[in-house]
Amino acid sequence: MPDIKAQLSEQLASVEWNLLIPHAQREAVIVVNEQLDLLDVAVAIAEDDSASVQAWIDRQLIHKPSFQNLSIWNNQPNKQFMTLIVQPFVIVQEK
């Protein structure tokens, strides 16, 4: 079985918000709080670690972008995010 963490670490990329807008429009963006490691969250989602994911949701450490987030980011189309794709989601963290 391939090492998911190693695979995902190779896919970690910095992306501008304007490239993430289509994913936000289909509600596929998950925002990761800076307190968490983006790679750890992506691995938990990929491995269907529902206990960890639910704990982060409950603590509001991962969430869908709020209306306020979207308003701010849409006015900053060049804002950079670290991103990972875990189908069907794009997991992002502000830089």
What is the reported pLDDT for 46?
Answer: 95
- Rounded Cα distance, 74 and 14, in Å: 17
What is the reported pLDDT for 80?
Answer: 97
The label of the residue with tokens 């994911």 reads: 53
Count of C-beta atoms within a 10 Å radius of residue 18:
13
Nearest to 78 by CA among 21, 24, 27, 12: 21
Evaluate the omega torsion of the peptide bond into residue 88 and state whether it is cis, within 30 degrees of 0: yes
What is the reported pLDDT for 89?
Answer: 96
Residues lower than pLDDT 70 in the chain: 1-2
Strand pairing of 89-94 and 29-32?
A: parallel
What is the reported pLDDT for 1?
Answer: 45
Count of residues for the chain?
Answer: 95
